[in-house]
A = this chain, B = another copy of it.
Amino acid sequence: MSHPQTHFAQTRFHGPSVLRDRRRTFARVGVKAQLKQLRATGRYDCFDLRWQPVYDEHRVKWPAPAPVFWDSDVAKWLEGACYLLHDAYDPEVDAAVRHVAGLIRGAQHPDGYLNVYFSVVKPGERWTNIRDQHELYNAGHLIEAALAHSRYYKTDFLLRVVERYVRHIRTVIGPGPGQKHAYPGHPEIELALLRLHAATGSEDAYALARYFVEERGNPRGQDGLHFYDWERRQRGDSPWKRPDAYPTADDHWYNQCHAPILEQPTVEGHAVRAMYLLTGVADLLCLDKLGVRAYHDDEDNSNRNDGECRAVTTATTTKAKKDRYFEALTRLWDDMVDKKMYLTGGIGACWGWEGFGRDYFLPAGSDEGGCYNETCASIGVVLLAERLLHLDLDARYADVLELCLYNNVLTGASLDGTAFTYVNQLASSDDQPSRREDWFEVSCCPPNLMRLFGCLGGYLWDYGAGDGNSSGEEDGGSSANAAFVNVHLYTTAVVTFEVGGGEGQGGQTVALEQKSDWPWDGNVSFHLKAPSSVETTIRLRIPGWAKGDYTLSPSPSSTTTTTPTTTTLEKGYLTLPPSYTAAHPSFTLRVGGFAPRHVAPHPYTGQRTLALARGPLVYCAEDADNPWAPPHFRDVLVSAASPVAEEARALRLRVDAARWDCSGKTGDAAVREPGQVEAEVEVEDRYVALRTEAWVRDMSAWRAKRAGAGPGLSVSEGGDGDGVVDGEKKELVLIPYYLRANRGGKGHMRVGLLRK
């Protein structure tokens, strides 16, 4: 099992692209802008375990005051920084990473425990509220930070620390009689533990991750009670003392533990938690698929305390259990994608619990009753989709991965990499203008974006030895004469990897280069470099929105070798067999679907709106381009019959050093060499804007008509629509959603406009 976080460095973005440019901005500016925030808020030094005044604020929020998450903020920054240092060395960042890593190591207790809040603020309350207080979540991010640190610095300096911590956790939590039968309220550690296991072979890590997945939602986990109920009683908390984010006091779906994972019919609760949890489950399946580990079904239910569960047959095969988990994964994925996902790839309609609402409840913004779409939640979709593509190569996962990446994720950072959104609505309102912030009290999203972009190369493709098409354990990945690359995302990049060769032995090098102007244009030229002895299979994703419009050049039929060559299209991937790639190491894929198209939300959302899309991008209207528009574009109508014109544009921004210059704040400015500071960074984005016609709904005519008609009623006679007159015709300019809130204005923005 390989993870993007592990193999991203094998991919190099060797030419300009939206993805390369954004990644570079994180490396040049974003990583330091966030470091500046870590320093300004006290997070940077928090692992020194000294008291900070912010801990003392009297209105700390129960159960999770912001410092409860600090460990993860620091860890995620450290993780992302290590990814970015790989090909963009910066002495200031390097020094900061070393400083923080030293503090983390120094903060570990003799017994292995490691957590700032429960060392400094509430030292007596370790593991007393596993549901809400994020100890395991923080531990997960520390593990991921340690893995990134280990890979970049070639040291086990932090790895040893987290291994000790994992051993400690395993003494506290587990199926044993003296242990807490617990699992994290905010999943994340599952996927981190499985990465740790893959990297180090740690059995503790594997066992703990598997325990968390299998124990989750056990209705009688501890002393006959749901673990979280048991835990609450231990604390002596009233059942009516519940966090603000919990819709009601007596359910567990906020944390995805209302039922065991296998029995959950629908995806529910906090969206980020759901995505991280399912990514962990998928990782577990990926590991098993690769033969690293098989389920032992005779252990099934061993930690269930009720007689009934013990009676469950143990005849289920390992395969059947894996199938059941895979079924659960795809069931929950489909439920999410088909009924609970926005046009932009956003998930989480409900502010209250930052999570999923009812089927098709997808209001465009606060004015319509919701829309949260946390940046981290769509990052979670990207993680999950990538894992699912290992289990089931189907473009429906990759289409959603790309949709999220280019829309709800990419919009989470400003073009200059120094400002962020947490919530990503599809329509602004007076309460929620379309704006960014430098930082947040709970600041999960900014470093999450940074670490995703840091290892982004790992998400472009899946590759390795063999033909990549074996479903059983026999595909051990050791085939010396076969290689595969499954291309999920198009951009300009080159991946280089080795096949064959045992442990410690050099293998044969395979390199695949792609060049394109994606997402603006669908022409992608490839060049494969592989020894002639390696039979290379390449699979190219054909996006669903291309509607089958694609061309491969040279065409397979023009192949001049004597063996016949046919490409096959299966589940959205076009397979180029070794016979093709050998004959045509350079080839071009043209993907259609780049003409602007009107899209609409599911009819069951009840929204008769139209949005514009082009390739993988969803567009929005902003007041910066359309100063004539009424507030928040609420009264703007468009028609699918209107022509749409394209306009090539560029946006250039100068990023003042004050936005990210954090020198001198902690005395380590000395690490910076003269001339290393860029006084000003310029960032640029070329993009395609769209122009179409629009109408302004004349509400005054409606008001006059409704007079006396009754509460909220418009009287409709003779089929005149809403009784609203379509007013003046205007030219409407739209830009990619990801680019919103970069050009000033009043923060008025809308994706879906009323359908005329």
Contacts and interface: CB of A to CB of B under 8 A. Distances in A.
Nearest to A361: B369
A243 B244 contact: no
Interface in A626-683: 634, 639-641
A192 to B, nearest CB: 27
Interface in A555-607: 572, 597-607
A603 B714 contact: yes
Q: Please classify the interface of chain A as helix (H, G, I), strand (E, B), loop, or mixed, using the class held by over half of its residues.
A: loop
Interface stretch (A334-342, A516-524, A727-735, A742-750): A334-342
Given A597-B717, A713-B343, A715-B597, A699 B240 contact: no
A606 B607 CA distance: 6
Please tell me how many copies of the chain the complex holds.
Answer: 2
Nearest to A63: B240
A625 interface: no
B599 A713 contact: yes
A560 B571 CA distance: 89
Interface string A351-367: 01000011111110011
A343 B709 CA distance: 10
A343 B718 contact: no
A598 B717 contact: yes
A714 B639 CA distance: 15
A601 B713 contact: yes
Contact of A697 (B370, B597, B603, B716): B603
Interface in A221-251: 238-244, 247-249
Contact of A714 (B352, B403, B600, B714): B600
A724 B607 contact: no
A687 interface: no
A708 interface: yes
Nearest to A707: B544
Q: Max chain B CB contacts within 10 Å: which of A544, A547, A599?
A: A599
A714 B599 contact: yes
Nearest to A404: B711
Contacts of A722: 600, 603, 608
B710 A403 contact: yes
B362 A358 contact: no
A606 B605 CA distance: 10
A640 B720 contact: yes
A597 B62 CA distance: 53
Contacts of A118: none
A545 interface: yes
Q: Max chain B CB contacts within 10 Å: which of A608, A613, A711, A714?
A: A711
A716 B641 CA distance: 9
Interface in A23-68: 62-63
A723 interface: yes
Contacts of A713: 343, 599-602, 613
Contacts of A78: none
Interface string A689-722: 0000000010100100001111111111111111
A410 to B, nearest CB: 16
Contacts of A707: 544
A84 to B, nearest CB: 30
Contacts of A718: 640-641
A359 B400 CA distance: 33
Contacts of A396: 708
Contact of A604 (B634, B711, B715): B634
Nearest to A381: B711
Contacts of A717: 597-598, 640
A359 to B, nearest CB: 7
Contacts of A598: 715-717
Contacts of A607: 606
A468 interface: no
A576 to B, nearest CB: 21
Contacts of A238: 62, 238, 241
A380 interface: no
Nearest to A238: B241
Contacts of A708: 396, 399, 543-545, 547, 572
Contacts of A605: 712
A382 interface: no
Given A600-B722, A724-B603, A712 B343 contact: yes
B343 A710 contact: yes
Contacts of A755: 721
Contact of A342 (B367, B712, B724): B712
A345 interface: yes
B710 A544 contact: yes
Contacts of A460: none
Contacts of A634: 604
Contacts of A543: 708
A337 B608 CA distance: 25
B711 A544 contact: no
A610 interface: yes
Contacts of A244: 240, 248-249
Which 4 A-B residue pairs are closest in the complex by CB-CB distance? A544-B708, A341-B711, A641-B719, A241-B241
7 contacts: A342-B711, A358-B367, A363-B369, A399-B708, A598-B715, A600-B713, A606-B607
